[in-house]
């Protein structure tokens, strides 16, 4: 009887490679994996930091929009207050820079427009969100711009026009 599918004789024999060759392949594989990690981990750290800054700025944007909608729905004035802090003293994860200097609140009227604050303090025009760490200061930054009509714009001051999200 004839076999239709037979294995070649060398396929059933154990490998004749020396143990030194196996160790060399293992060491080369570990070196390649380590080099790949050294290159990829800083990029992953930058990606995570960018995501944190984006998340924090979008949270602020939602809170301000909620205050504006609350003023419209409740037919009353609503104040939204932010407490910027110095990250060098508090060690917080995100630093908020409010402009103009000394501004800490914005007041929305019944139409949702930004109006003068009752206590006479300046109204927030923009908020910069950036990492609180001195190591990443200025690298990843988002800016919230509040217009007098109540609109809120989220942009990246590091991008030049006409790119999307540029200020």
- Give ∠ CA 79-83-86 in degrees, rounded to 5: 160
CATH number of the domain at 16-155, out of 3.20.20.150, 3.20.20.30, 3.55.40.10, 3.40.50.300? Answer: 3.55.40.10
Q: Report whether 99 contacts 126 (CB < 8 A).
A: yes
Q: pLDDT tens digits for 37-94? A: 888 887 887 788 888 888 888 998 999 999 999 999 999 999 999 876 554 544 557 7
In the chain, domain spans? 16-155
User: Largest Cα–Cα distance in the chain?
Assistant: 104
CA proximity to 131, closest of 81, 57, 65, 64: 57
Q: pTM for the complete prediction?
A: 0.69
Rounded to whole angstroms, what are the CA distances from 38 to 35, 42, 51, 147? 5, 7, 21, 44
Which two tokens mark 73?
Answer: 């729905």
């Amino acid at each position: 009887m004839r076999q239709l599918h037979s294995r070649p004789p060398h396929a059933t024999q154990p490998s004749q490679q020396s143990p030194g060759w196996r160790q060399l392949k293992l060491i080369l594989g570990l070196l390649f994996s380590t080099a790949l990690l050294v290159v990829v981990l800083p990029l992953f750290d930058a990606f995570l930091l960018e995501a944190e800054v984006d998340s924090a700025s979008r949270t602020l944007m939602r809170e301000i929009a909620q205050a504006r909608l609350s003023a419209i729905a409740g037919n009353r004035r609503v104040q939204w207050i932010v407490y910027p802090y110095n990250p060098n003293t508090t060690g917080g994860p995100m630093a908020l820079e409010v402009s103009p200097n000394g501004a800490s609140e914005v007041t929305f009227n019944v139409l949702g427009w930004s109006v003068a604050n009752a206590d006479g303090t300046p109204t927030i025009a923009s908020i910069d969100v950036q990492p609180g760490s001195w190591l990443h200061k200025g690298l990843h930054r988002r800016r919230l711009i509040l217009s007098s009509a109540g609109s809120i714009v989220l942009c990246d001051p590091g991008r030049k026009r006409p790119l999307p999200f540029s200020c």
